[in-house]
Amino acid sequence: ELNVTLELSVDGPVEVSGDGDELLQVALNLIENAIKYGGEAGRVEITCEAKGRDGVLAVKDFGQGIAEDHIPRLTERFYRVSTKESRARGGTGLGLAIVKHIVLRHRGDLDIQSAPGQGSTFTVSIPLYNS
């Protein structure tokens, strides 16, 4: 509907320990956000690879980006950078809070890199299975 191109790069099988449904929810939420906020006719890069002792999923969009002062608050429940824009796109302000909660339950980390005009990259690291 938004004519967004998804580019997927997977470095072979990456097995992490955890609840498959919850981890799928993390991936879907990050990809849906990148599509929503990455701009029409945009591009979203999705990479999944083993790095050291972690499985790493990175979702990058090339949208308008997020100002640095908003980044620490993005995972707060109901926090929105732009309430008007978020509501217009169907956002509730809960998605990234849920992502952070699931990632922490899986002993992982969530990193957010963004700057105005540069797009955003959301990176999730979860310990590899048997690591």
pTM exceeding 0.75: yes
Please write the tens of the pLDDT for every residue from 72-130: 888 888 777 764 554 455 566 788 999 999 999 999 999 999 999 899 999 999 999 98
Helix (H), strand (E) at residue 59 = strand 54-61
How many CB atoms within 10 Å of residue 19?
Answer: 11
The per-residue pLDDT for 1 is 75
Position 100: which residue type? K
